[in-house]
Amino acid sequence: MTKYITTPIYYLNGDPHIGHAFTTILSDVLKRIYEINKEDCFLTTGTDEHGQKNQSACEKSGLDFETFMKEKSEVYKSLFDRLNIKYDYFVRTSCQQHKDYVKQCLNYIKKKDLIIKKSYTGLYCEGCEQFKKLSDLDSEGNCPDHKKPPQQITEENYFFKLEPFREWLIEFIKQNPEWIQPKVFMNEVLAMLQEPLEDLCISRPKSRVSLGIEFPFDDNYITYIWFDALINYLSTFAHNKTDLNKYWNNSIHLMGKDIIKAHCIYWPIILKALDFEPAKKVLVHGFWLGEGNIKMSKSIGNIVDPKEVIDLVGVDTLRFYLCNTMNGAKDGQVSINLIKNTHNLLGNNLGNLVSRSCKMLEKYCNNKIPTNNLVGEDRELLEKISISFKNKISTINNLENIQELSQLIIETGNLLNGYIDKKEPWKLGKDITKKYELESCLYTLMEGLLLIGCAVYPIMPTVSDKLLSIFNLNKYKIDLNVFKTNILEAGLKINVIDILFPRVE
Ligand code: MSP
């Protein structure tokens, strides 16, 4: 089976924060899970390089467009590399392939008589790059996401007719109740579709915004950034129709809840007009709230810098924190202190388990895997662990399941730590008649570590690599078949590894 996973493409008007890191981390976790399930998976992320916000930021920087876009896009790319994101293609909407494809799409839709030119007066929020209705604003007349009043502008522009597709879209959503997850967002989208849809303004006069893709049939205009950006999901495969169809039919969009209108109303309608099916699935997450308990955003300036977090606790703790703390559709809290606490918790849980187990193996078995002839309850314990990991990883289908996997990892750490406390191997070690029981216990612990090492791979790839290196298995390609018991051979010499989660104060 094929899977095509996409993240939103990010604006360049500031440095990436935890919110951006999060969506991209989730996409990578999902890709790694699909790989364990032996699915052919293509992941794209990238940068959205046009529009008014990017233009204003570029003008402030004093750089020319090209240099600004290249430098800023590189900041995202290098962060995603540090975060161990296995993207297959890094989108940049300023690339020629994308620009040509967008123009092709506009021409296609125009031929269908779905584009009209007219004058329009509206309230424009630069932060959202969208016109707002009065009902979209808060009680003070501000955009609720950007805490600023939108500007009133009157302009002649090109518009794309959405209303002819409204009934079709409602029907599509009702027929596909799993399309948007979690369900609350499906209900939000259905509520938005209760009212007739206004025509979507898909151009900007060059006199106001010049950073964008020129309109193919009127060179006084550039293409509206959202129309341009959404098409990145197709333009990646512009030169390969077979791949386009293969991947598009199994496409999964990941995003924060702020952009569901664009992805669940504008985008499926654009696709329909282009004779494509909607994406297969839309997985939505809540926001990370920063200082002031408000959505972290570049425009507000309350961001948690992922680079700072990585320097302090490493990439894997950050990935784990975000996966473990996300709260379905709800918003989550993030701060350096909360992440530090999770890091120390991982140390007490997995870190402690590894160091206790390895020390005992050294003391009692000279760093060699003992007999694999296990006592019944030890075999049962390992079977329970391997089956629960296998079941979880083979059924992951939405973002909440990722949180469940992170929880299962912690629970397994607790289970094995509790097992050590109950078994008291140090007592067994003093009694020669208990040698068999001791060896069975140590085997169980080492194989438990191996299973954890495989199960943490999607969320904590570096930790996985370290755990597997204990058994010289770090180059091993993990698939579902590893989740069984009796993998380790008696006599195997294990490697000692460094402390997994060195404590931070
Ligand atoms: N460029 C558009 C997306 C175009 S996709 C065709 C855009 N860019 S953005 O840089 O402003 O934000 C992109 C995404 O970052 C959001 O949808 C969301 O996925 C993520 N987040 C940004 N801030 C966030 C939080 N505070 N918390 C969680 N995720 C957030 O929108």
Q: How far is the CA of 301 from the centre of ligand 1 (A)?
A: 15
Give me the mean pLDDT over the 239-258 stretch: 95
The pLDDT of residue 371 is 82
Q: Could you give the percent of the chain with pLDDT greater than 70? A: 99
| pLDDT given at position 172 | 98
Pocket test for ligand 1, best of 5, 7, 22, 93 (most atoms within 8 A of CB): 22
Residues 29/458, Cβ–Cβ less than 8 Å? yes
Residue 118 annotated among the catalytic residues of the structure = no
The answer, yes or no, to whether residue 112 has pLDDT greater than 80, is yes
What's the average model confidence in pLDDT over 452-458?
98
> Ligand 1 center to residue 171 CA distance, Å?
28
**With a 6 A CB cut-off, is 457 part of the ligand 1 pocket?**
no
Q: How far apart are CA 10 and CA 259, in angstroms?
A: 12
DSSP result, 43-59: EEEEEE--HHHHHHHHH
**pLDDT score at 72:** 97
Backbone torsions φ then ψ of 497, nearest 5 degrees: -115, 165
Total length of the chain: 505
pLDDT at 126 over 90: no
- Burial annotation 344-354 (CB, 10 A radius, 16+ → b, else e): bbbbebbbbbb
Torsion, Cα of 395, 399, 401, 407 (10° steps): 150
Evaluate if residue 10 carries a pLDDT over 90.
yes
What pLDDT score does 296 carry?
A: 73
Is-catalytic flag, 60? no
pLDDT band at 260 (very low <50, low <70, confident <90, very high): very high
Q: Could you tell me the pLDDT band of residue 251, with boundaries at 50, 70 and 90?
A: very high
For this structure, is 143 an active site residue?
yes
- The rounded Å distance from CA 63 to ligand 1 centre is 24
474 has a pLDDT exceeding 90: no
> pLDDT category, 133, cuts 50, 70, 90?
confident
Q: Choosing from 41, 58, 105, 143, which is the catalytic residue?
A: 143
- Of the listed 128, 201, 264, 454, which one is catalytic? 128
**pLDDT of 300 over the 80 cut:** no
Average of per-residue pLDDT across 453-467: 97
Please compute the mean of the pLDDT values over residues 124-132 and round it to a whole number. Answer: 83
Average pLDDT, rounded, for the chain: 94
pLDDT (0 to 100) of residue 147: 86
Lowest mean pLDDT among 22-31, 146-155, 209-218: 146-155
Q: How confident is the model at residue 298 (pLDDT cuts 50, 70, 90)?
A: low
For 17-67, write each residue's pLDDT tens digit: 999 999 999 999 999 999 999 999 999 999 999 998 999 999 999 999 999
CB distance 146 to 13 below 8 Å? no
Who contacts 213 (Cβ-Cβ below 8 Å, separation ≥6)?
Answer: 50, 93, 99, 102, 103, 222, 223, 228
pLDDT of residue 373: 87
Closest CA to 320 of 382, 264, 403, 378: 403
The residue type at 366: N
